[in-house]
């Protein structure tokens, strides 16, 4: 075992790494840890040409500076990316300096049957499919690693933000897949890794076409053409959006949106090419049922999540249902119609406001999206909601005395919080929120068998139905049809209460 020093080719910094003869080896790079384990040195196996070097130099200087200098820069570098920070050279090979992954991205327990993967990194693939969460599967993940269904929505929010930021910078990922993200469902965290292949349109084209299962149909169906053929489609911003939609679908429903039972060719390789490329068809297409995933075609470990008749994509709620349709029906073969990363972010966050806790303590998912019925039922375990359920619809002031619905609602449960982004439509729930804006301004509770909103910080809260101010520290009862003004300021919202399950 030896400690090796390497110098930056960008500045005068020197780095060290431990070579024990057994580096972590990926497809393109060997990875070594620094003595203090604060960073890794990832050395390319192949020599990089001039263009590849220039791409990497831009990634560790221009684009890194661009993130650091903007709002929420630290959030992105701490939570969303493991962004390379420098380039070093060793014996004609170059390497990248990359900050070490946070402890939460390493398995604490791993398998439920043994500790073989304890300490290994939580590659996103572990959490996308169904079999690793099936307790009967010999190598299932321990339940302490899986998190609740609600947490996977936050995982997807982080991925959407990561893609959004790249696209805002004029970059595209080109190889977004579950292999290039780390996921921690316990905290709802996701981190994008292997960011050395970023595409700059017109300057640095994609080096690879992507990872199977996440390559956009137009890329697969034209891959036989020459790279110089104008009809050849290479990875870009729009192909990222296909991969992002696949990831969201897989993390929430643990099956692939295009891998159904339809056979296009008896040659498996040709069939894969057609089913994911030219002939790609959503397995839950509402009118063309020919690619439905038949349970007889999946392993017994996958059967629970594979059954789209019991767990259809509509269980993800109205906002995501529309986005999945845009991604896998309208936009599947028409890339311009795919939802943007920001649309996914907004849809996912609005959906978390529709979440309800399942009343069954042994329900594995713990949460579900309110199904807009008067008698909500958990789709995972069939448990009916007990007791009344306040549904709060948001309205905004279109003009004096005219209030319009916002297509946004908040489901109430005991100890649910109210935040500034609910109260004021001028505040967006995104990565730029200040610490002050993340503090709850009120909370909901079941008090003496009545639902109430307790005012913690709002100065303009008013019960319009009873024409009564609700001061800080006071509460207002949530009754059917009640109208409550959350703020008198410009942008302040009004809520209309509906009591479901009466």
Q: Model confidence over 185-195: pLDDT tens digits?
A: 999 999 999 99
Q: Pick 268 or 202 by higher pLDDT.
A: 268
Q: Kindly state the average pLDDT of the residues 5-19.
A: 93
Cβ–Cβ < 8 Å for 323, 297: no
Burial zone of 270 (CB within 10 Å; 0-12 exposed, 13-18 middle, 19+ buried): exposed
Q: What is the pLDDT of residue 112?
A: 87
Nearest residue to 17 (alpha-carbon basis) of 1, 31, 33, 28: 33
423: pLDDT confidence band, cut at 50, 70 and 90?
Answer: very high
Cβ–Cβ < 8 Å for 406, 422: no
486: pLDDT confidence band, cut at 50, 70 and 90?
Answer: very high
Number of domain units in the chain: 3
Q: Which residues pair with 409 in a beta bridge?
A: 393
Gap between the Cα atoms of 314 and 371, Å rounded:
9
Q: Is residue 362 part of a domain?
A: no
For 225, list phi and psi in degrees, rounded to 5: -80, 160
Residues 33 and 48 in one domain: yes
H helices present in 307-340, as ranges: 318-325
Q: Is residue 372 part of a domain?
A: no
Q: How far, rounded to the nearest angstrom, does the alpha carbon of residue 322 sit from its chain's CA centroid?
A: 17
Residues 292 and 429 in one domain: no
Residues 213 and 311 in one domain: yes
Residues 166 and 117 in one domain: yes
Q: What is the pLDDT of residue 300?
A: 93
Chosen domain end from 100, 129, 148: 100
Nearest residue to 79 (alpha-carbon basis) of 101, 61, 51: 101
Chosen domain end from 100, 120, 140: 100
Residues 466 and 339 in one domain: no
Q: Is residue 167 part of a domain?
A: yes
Q: What is the pLDDT of residues 212-243, one digit of tens each?
A: 999 999 999 999 999 889 999 999 999 999 99
Who's near 311: CB < 8 A, 6+ residues apart? 253, 304, 305, 379, 380
Residues 124 and 29 in one domain: no
Q: Kindly state the average pLDDT of the residues 428-436.
A: 94
Q: What is the pLDDT of residue 502?
A: 78
For residue 490, give both structure tokens: 């410009």
Asked if pLDDT for residue 24 goes beyond 90, the answer is no
Q: Kindly state the average pLDDT of the residues 47-69.
A: 93
Q: Kindly state the average pLDDT of the residues 310-315.
A: 97
Lowest-confidence range among 26-30, 71-75, 135-139, 421-425? 26-30
Gap between the Cα atoms of 261 and 284, Å rounded:
11
Q: Is residue 379 part of a domain?
A: no
Gap between the Cα atoms of 260 and 293, Å rounded:
4
Q: What is the pLDDT of residue 39?
A: 95
CATH of the domain at 291: 1.10.510.10
Q: What is the pLDDT of residues 101-126, one digit of tens each?
A: 999 999 999 888 888 999 999 999 99
Q: What is the pLDDT of residue 203?
A: 85
Q: Is residue 285 part of a domain?
A: yes
Asked if pLDDT for residue 200 goes beyond 90, the answer is no
Q: What is the pLDDT of residue 92?
A: 85
Neighbours of 212 (CB within 10 A): 10
Q: Kindly state the average pLDDT of the residues 416-437.
A: 95
Residues 426 and 495 in one domain: yes
CATH of the domain at 70: 3.30.200.20
Residues 94 and 122 in one domain: no
Q: Average model confidence (pLDDT) for the chain?
A: 94
Q: What is the pLDDT of residue 270?
A: 93
Q: What is the pLDDT of residue 491?
A: 93
Q: Is residue 244 part of a domain?
A: yes
What is the domain extent for residue 494?
Answer: 387-500
CATH of the domain at 424: 2.60.200.20
Residues 115 and 238 in one domain: yes
Q: What is the pLDDT of residue 26?
A: 80
pTM to 2 decimal places = 0.96
Residues 63 and 112 in one domain: no
Q: Is residue 378 part of a domain?
A: no
Q: What is the pLDDT of residue 21?
A: 85
172: pLDDT confidence band, cut at 50, 70 and 90?
Answer: very high
Chosen domain end from 75, 100, 125: 100
Q: Is residue 370 part of a domain?
A: no
Residues 337 and 232 in one domain: yes
367: pLDDT confidence band, cut at 50, 70 and 90?
Answer: very high
Burial zone of 280 (CB within 10 Å; 0-12 exposed, 13-18 middle, 19+ buried): buried
Asked if pLDDT for residue 492 goes beyond 90, the answer is yes
Residues 202 and 276 in one domain: yes
Percent of the chain whose pLDDT exceeds 90 = 88
């Amino acid at each position: 075992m030896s400690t090796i020093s390497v110098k930056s080719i960008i500045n005068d910094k020197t780095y060290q790494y431990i070579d024990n003869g057994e580096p972590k080896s990926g497809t393109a790079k060997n990875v070594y840890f620094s003595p203090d384990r604060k960073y890794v040195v990832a050395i390319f196996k192949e020599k990089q040409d001039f263009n590849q070097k220039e791409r990497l130099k831009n990634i560790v200087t221009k684009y890194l500076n661009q993130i650091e200098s903007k709002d929420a820069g630290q959030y992105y570098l701490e939570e969303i990316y493991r962004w390379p920070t420098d380039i070093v050279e060793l014996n004609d090979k170059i390497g990248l300096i990359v900050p070490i992954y946070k402890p939460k991205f390493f398995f604490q327990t791993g398998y439920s049957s043994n500790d073989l993967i304890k300490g290994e990194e939580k590659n996103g693939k572990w959490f996308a499919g169904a079999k690793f969460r099936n307790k009967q599967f010999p190598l299932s993940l321990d339940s302490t690693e899986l998190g609740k269904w609600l947490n996977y929505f936050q995982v997807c929010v982080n991925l959407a933000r990561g893609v959004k930021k790249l696209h805002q910078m004029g970059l595209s990922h080109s190889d977004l897949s579950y292999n290039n993200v780390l996921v921690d469902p316990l905290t709802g965290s996701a981190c994008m890794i292997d960011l050395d292949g970023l595409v700059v349109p017109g300057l640095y084209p994609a080096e690879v076409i992507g990872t199977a299962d996440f390559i956009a149909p137009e890329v697969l169906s034209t891959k036989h053409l020459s790279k110089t053929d104008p009809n050849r489609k290479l990875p870009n911003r729009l192909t990222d959006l296909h991969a992002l939609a696949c990831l969201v679908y897989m993390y929430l429903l643990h099956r692939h949106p295009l891998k159904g039972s339809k056979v296009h060719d008896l040659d498996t390789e040709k069939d894969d090419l057609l089913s994911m490329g030219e002939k790609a068809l959503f397995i839950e297409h509402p009118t063309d049922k020919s690619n439905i995933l038949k349970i007889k075609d999946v392993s017994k470990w996958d059967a629970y999540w594979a059954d789209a008749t019991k767990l259809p994509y509509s269980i993800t709620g109205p906002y995501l249902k529309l986005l999945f349709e845009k991604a896998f029906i309208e936009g599947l073969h028409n890339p311009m119609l795919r939802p943007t990363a920001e649309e996914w972010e907004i849809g996912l966050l609005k959906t978390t406001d529709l979440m309800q806790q399942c009343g069954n303590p042994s329900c594995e998912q713990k949460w579900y999206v309110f199904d807009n019925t008067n008698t909500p039922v958990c789709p995972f375990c069939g448990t009916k909601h007990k007791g009344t359920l306040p549904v709060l619809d948001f309205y905004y002031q279109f003009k004096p005395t005219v209030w319009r619905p916002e297509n946004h609602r908040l489901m109430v449960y005991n100890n649910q919080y109210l935040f500034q982004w609910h109260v004021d439509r001028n505040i967006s729930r995104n990565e730029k929120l200040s610490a002050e804006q993340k503090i709850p301004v009120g909370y909901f509770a079941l008090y003496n068998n009545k639902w109430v909103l307790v005012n913690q910080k709002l100065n303009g809260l008013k019960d319009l139905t009873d024409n009564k101010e609700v001061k800080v520290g006071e509460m207002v009862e949530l009754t059917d049809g009640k109208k409550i003004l959350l703020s008198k300021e410009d942008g302040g919202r009004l809520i209309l209460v509906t009591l479901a399950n009466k």
